[in-house]
Amino acid sequence: MKPATADLLFELGTEELPAGPLLSMGEALRTSILEGLADHGLLCATNQIFVTPRRLAVLVRAVSLEAPDKTVEALGPPVAAARDKAGDWTPAALGFAKKQGVEVTELEVINTSKGDRLGLRRIEAGAQAASVLPQILANAVTAIPVTKRMRWGRERHEFLRPVQWVVALLGTEVIDVVVMGISSDRHTLGHRFHHPDSIDLKSPEQYEGALLAAYVLADFDQRRERIRNQVMAIAKNLNANAVIDEALLNEVTGLVEWPVALQGSFDPAFLEVPAGAVISSMKEHQKYFHLVSDQGHLLPLFITIANIESNNPASVIAGNERVIRPRLSDAAFFFETDKATPLADRGSRLEGIVFQQKLGSVADKTRRITALSGWVAGALGADVSVAQRAATLAKCDLVSDLVLEFPDLQGIAGAHYSRHDGELEAVSASIEEHYWPRFSGDQLPKSPEAAAVAIADRLDTLVGIFGIGQAPTGSKDPFALRRGALAVIRLLVNLDMQLDLLDLTKRAASEYPENTLDQDTAQAVTEYTLERFRSWYEDQDIPVEVLRAVLATGITAPAQVDRRVTALNAFAGTEAAVALAAANKRVANILNKSDQTLSDAPNPELFHQPEESQLYQSLQTLKPVVADNILKDDYAAALSNLASLQGPVDAFFEGVMVNADDPATRTNRHELLAALRSAFTGIADFALLGGASK
């Protein structure tokens, strides 16, 4: 017989909550409620959260009204210690019985993995949902992560915002629970303006529909998609393209309960201001979505999301247009004021900005990256003078009024001011692009000069911060070194040049004054940066064993690492790869146990069996071919050629006793295996592949 069930609804009604933590708070509430139910043995079916600015709610379907009974065992002393030599009960047995509230004769022998014990079995009645839910719900509210708590009225209760009402229903019955001094009920509230009256809920199933009728779209995902669709529909009618930033979309979704998209405009004269400043003003301060043309040019239009269906939408739009104008005017003023001072003249002001206390000022950093950019540009065959000029000017906009007001315009503002000052276009573009990529998946610099500055800037930070012992630990990464290291990887792989990362880090470290950095800084930064490949390949479903096999060869040129990993990953799942990986492990184990210094040049005159000669001849034939493949960076061909060794290797291990009794023969066979291992480790350490496959 199926246990009786009922749906559970819990809603915490509040004053308007901040949009940022809204989803995480809802998730935390759900997790705590589900864990509480599970802890009491109460089963349930599906669940759903609802979060809006005024509510956090969880709906759990088919909650068991009663948990099944369970047998509880209490174990006492070992049977051997339960009676004395006279056969009387020992104090241990008597004490255990007293503790359990029973006569000692009611105890039974219970078999355990550690032998027979005296014990007691009881049937414990299952939890009643109605009885345990008040505590479960109260605990769930307490567990909601709240960074900044506040008090309200004369109460001592604390939460992110004042709690106004609480709904707690199990089926049609109200669960009596007191939260922040407020007793639960079945009454919720709809939209603050469209439906201010209380809504009486007869059961949890009514919740979502009742709120929808009261102008509250309670489901966060549905609300987000409604906003997206409304914005896209308006843009389509305007023959424009809406730029929908997902972070902004989530934030706006958390600000409204009944989204209504409205289109406004601003004075086209503000398009003379860098687009980034205009976009930042609309996005960061007003939460507007901006629109662009098919060519990607910013249009003097925006879309705002209201939380009300106004009878006079024109008035709402006019209000938004009026609010944005001062912000855009400020941006225009800063832009015009900044242009009065040449960008290069701002460089001296960088002396007063601390990059890091032990590493000097931003001016010191500029001098270092200018020198390093020139070296990298030379290695890339790029224009050294352009790279160094761009590096010299790259940080000058940090002291401009526009960037001080809009920090996300670093580089963008500098590029505008550089063009205004008459600098070469390649220099101006590099000033902006040296910040690329700004985030995972972002675009890369378009020119090798810009890439040179981008690499130099990030490596200077990496070696500096590592060199003073402040490498990232756990979740702490104030200088965004993880992101910087991954950017270096992407930049070097994209350039597809044989630039060695260890050489680069040594060059970067050499620009610091003597004794500023730890001696092993370059090696530490190189290892840390190459390890960032791991997260990159995880996104491509490439097993970490493949990366480790390649890095075990000691190569530190990222472009070469990537080519080898790509080729090895394609090869790893083949029958030959599996067999050769197993053989390499066997070879590695044998050689690791050898107490001799081995070369990879066996003496053919000491071969006694045809399998030895066959393997040796195959190796001799393949060596120059594979070496040529590697020289041309054709690792797929090299692996394909090495795969032909599968037969000779299998035959060798089947027909040859490697650890022969004769010392000379044994050593010579070890030399042959060393030659075999050397042939493979020129590309990767196959012994580390394990079960890696595509």
Rounded to whole angstroms, how far apart are CA atoms 649 and 587?
10
Inter-residue contact 167 to 175 (CB < 8 Å): no
Same topology between domain 5-67+128-213 and domain 343-531: no
Inter-residue contact 13 to 188 (CB < 8 Å): yes
pLDDT in tens, 353-406: 999 999 999 999 999 999 999 999 999 999 999 999 999 999 999 999 999 999
pLDDT in tens, 318-330: 999 999 999 999 9
The yes-or-no verdict on residue 692 having pLDDT over 50 is no
Rounded to whole angstroms, how far apart are CA atoms 605 and 668?
10
Query: Residue 138: what pLDDT?
Result: 95
Handedness of CA 658, 662, 663, 669 (dihedral sign): negative
Inter-residue contact 459 to 500 (CB < 8 Å): no
Domain boundaries of the chain, sorted by first residue: 5-67+128-213, 70-124, 220-338, 343-531, 563-688
pLDDT in tens, 411-428: 999 999 999 999 999 999
CATH 1.10.3210 fits 343-531, yes or no: yes
| Residue 168 one-letter amino acid | A
pLDDT in tens, 516-552: 999 999 999 999 999 999 999 998 999 999 999 999 9
Residues 6+ apart with CB under 8 A from 641: 622, 625, 626, 629
| Other beta carbons within 10 Å of 278 | 24
Q: Give the pLDDT band of residue 500 (cuts 50, 70, 90).
A: very high
Among 80-89, 333-342, 503-512, 682-691, name the one with the lowest average pLDDT.
Answer: 682-691
The phi, psi pair for 298, rounded to 5°, reads: -65, 135
Q: Give the pLDDT band of residue 213 (cuts 50, 70, 90).
A: very high
The yes-or-no verdict on residue 3 having pLDDT over 80 is no
Question: What is the H or E stretch that residue 265 is in?
Answer: strand 260-265
Query: Residue 691: what pLDDT?
Result: 47
CB < 8 Å & 24+ apart, contacts of 338-342: 338/400, 338/401, 338/402, 338/413, 338/417, 339/417, 339/420, 342/417, 342/421
Nearest C-alpha neighbor of 288 from the set 332, 244, 237: 244
More confident residue, 287 or 115: 287
Query: Residue 686: what pLDDT?
Result: 82
The yes-or-no verdict on residue 188 having pLDDT over 90 is yes
Class of domain 563-688: mainly alpha
> 448-467 vs 362-380: helix axis angle to the nearest 10?
130
The yes-or-no verdict on residue 694 having pLDDT over 60 is no
Taking residues 456-467, report their average pLDDT.
98
The superfamily (CATH) of domain 5-67+128-213 is ACT domain (3.30.70.260)
Query: Residue 693: what pLDDT?
Result: 39
- Cα R_g (the chain), whole angstroms: 35
pLDDT in tens, 561-618: 999 999 999 988 788 888 888 888 888 888 888 777 777 788 898 899 999 999 999 9
Strand, helix or coil for residue 58: strand
359-361-363 Cα angle (round to 5): 125
pLDDT in tens, 238-264: 999 999 999 999 999 999 999 999 999
